[in-house]
């Protein structure tokens, strides 16, 4: 049932992708902000308590509804799994943002591309060159593929006996690591550590998937030699392998506030352009097909056995 839940949710997300702003995300963001204002005294333990209060009730509801529906009909439980997985996925609307940036870059509308990238990543891209726009967009879409799709699918399948608990766990941990990043004191430390733990395996599976979908040798080389230089370990693994698989150079300096901001270099080969954004998205969809085919083979093997 896990494979068919994934297949249905991915198809639904592709045909009817979620659109910004996401009402359920906005509500959850307000709740996490409320928890931060109530519990943030700068201590690690306060962040741990707030994280548990933000995550455990969601897991309990997701699991309880699954088991209650399963007691009535397995089909209802399956529909619940698909619905929750659909709401926790979200790569399609990220890929559409990236495709929009590629289109305006191709048309030579640099200011429009900067504006789209600004709105998408929440950072200052007002002085980015076309190459910097393409570079950061490719990085962002690779990172989003892990956080918004592959990581969710991995944890859903891993914990599928509990219903959609795995998908909810991964997405909640991902959101909290971002929402509380930079909070006062050590409040965010537990959220960062928790997401590091749940993201460790998915990030490496995604890197391996990129290697299979692209240039395997270069992807593995960049993963081994460059990933550790990136500030976020799991992001570094994903982006380094993706850059090597595509044969492009990512990272490097970007211009912010009239000054060059240094970042480690990832990848090898040419500087990316607008076509590389589309190539990155194509590689990610090929990676998804690899995962689905692998899942189908497991299902067939189970039937034959």
> pTM of the prediction?
0.94
Query: Which residues neighbour 305 within 8 Å (Cβ) at sequence distance 6 or greater?
Result: none
Per-domain boundaries in the chain: 2-304
Query: Which residues neighbour 190 within 8 Å (Cβ) at sequence distance 6 or greater?
Result: 44, 47, 48, 51
Helix (H) or strand (E) holding 249: strand 249-251
How do residues 170-198 score in pLDDT, each as one tens digit? 999 999 999 998 877 789 999 999 999 99
More confident residue, 91 or 149: 149
* pLDDT value of residue 17: 85
More confident residue, 87 or 93: 87
Query: Which residues neighbour 20 within 8 Å (Cβ) at sequence distance 6 or greater?
Result: 93
pLDDT above 90 (res 228): yes
CA neighbor of 146 nearest in space, from 170, 122, 182, 163:
170
How do residues 263-288 score in pLDDT, each as one tens digit? 999 999 999 999 999 999 999 999 99
More confident residue, 302 or 70: 70
* pLDDT value of residue 163: 95
* pLDDT value of residue 14: 86
* pLDDT value of residue 286: 95
* pLDDT value of residue 21: 73
Structure confidence at residue 122 as a pLDDT band (50, 70, 90): confident
pLDDT above 80 (res 305): no
* pLDDT value of residue 131: 93
* pLDDT value of residue 284: 95
Structure confidence at residue 1 as a pLDDT band (50, 70, 90): confident
pLDDT above 80 (res 258): no
Distances 64 to 57, 85, 86, 162, 187 between C-alpha atoms, Å: 10, 16, 18, 9, 30
């Amino acid at each position: 049932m896990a494979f068919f839940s994934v297949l249905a949710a991915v198809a639904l997300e592709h045909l009817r992708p979620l659109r910004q702003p996401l009402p359920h995300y906005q509500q959850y963001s307000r709740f996490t902000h409320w928890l931060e204002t109530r519990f943030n005294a700068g201590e690690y333990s306060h962040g741990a308590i707030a994280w548990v209060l933000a995550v455990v009730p969601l897991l309990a509801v997701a699991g309880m509804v699954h088991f209650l529906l399963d007691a009535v009909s397995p089909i209802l439980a399956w529909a619940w799994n698909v619905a929750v997985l659909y709401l926790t996925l979200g790569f399609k609307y990220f890929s559409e943002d990236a495709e929009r940036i590629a289109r305006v870059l191709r048309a030579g509308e640099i200011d429009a591309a900067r504006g789209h990238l600004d709105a998408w990543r929440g950072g200052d891209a007002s002085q980015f060159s076309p190459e910097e726009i393409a570079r950061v967009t490719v990085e962002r879409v690779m990172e989003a593929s892990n956080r918004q799709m592959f990581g969710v699918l991995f944890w859903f399948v891993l914990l599928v006996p509990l219903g959609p608990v795995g998908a909810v766990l991964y997405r909640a941990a991902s959101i909290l690591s971002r929402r509380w990043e930079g909070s006062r004191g050590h409040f965010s430390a537990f959220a960062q550590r928790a997401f590091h733990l749940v993201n460790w395996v998915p990030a490496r599976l995604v890197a391996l998937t990129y290697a299979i979908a692209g240039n395997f040798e270069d992807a593995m080389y960049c993963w081994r030699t460059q990933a550790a230089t990136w500030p976020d370990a799991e992001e570094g693994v994903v982006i380094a392998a993706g850059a090597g698989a595509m044969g492009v150079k990512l990272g490097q300096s970007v211009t912010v506030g009239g000054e060059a901001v240094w970042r480690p270099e990832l990848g090898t080969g040419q500087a990316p352009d607008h076509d590389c954004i589309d190539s990155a998205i194509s590689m990610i969809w090929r990676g998804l097909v690899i995962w689905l085919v692998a899942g189908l083979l497991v299902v067939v093997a189970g039937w034959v056995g």
